[in-house]
Amino acid sequence: MSEQSPSRDEVVVAQKSPIPVEVEAGKTYYWCSCGRSKSQPLCDGSHQGTSFEPLAYTAKKTETAYLCGCKKTFHAPLCDGTHQSL
């Protein structure tokens, strides 16, 4: 039996853990909210044709940011541990 593909308006869990990204203070990054990007956790335009849009995130400081990989965080784009209950 094959697994069904999610509909274009369902979020895809990219991975069940945070994705570390080196960010620079003042720079804006576009977080993939649909889970379809091949450049996780950042948007590559794969949301086209869905109801999803990327989320702009401007880094407050230069650091390693842990961006949500499961796409179900309540503090997007940052990981809040929601993946632990999936």
The residue with tokens 């990054």 is 29
Q: Name residue 48's beta-bridge partners.
A: none
- Contact, 47 vs 33, CB < 8 A? yes
Residue 4 — very low, low, confident or very high, per pLDDT cuts 50/70/90? Answer: low
**56 vs 78: CA distance, rounded Å:** 12
Q: Given this model, what pLDDT does residue 3 score?
A: 56
Q: What is the pLDDT of residue 1?
A: 44
Rounded to two decimals, the pTM is: 0.90
Phi, psi of 52 (to 5 degrees): -90, 150
> What does the pLDDT read at residue 5?
64
5-59 tens-digit pLDDT? 667 789 999 999 999 999 999 999 999 999 999 999 999 999 999 999 999 999 9
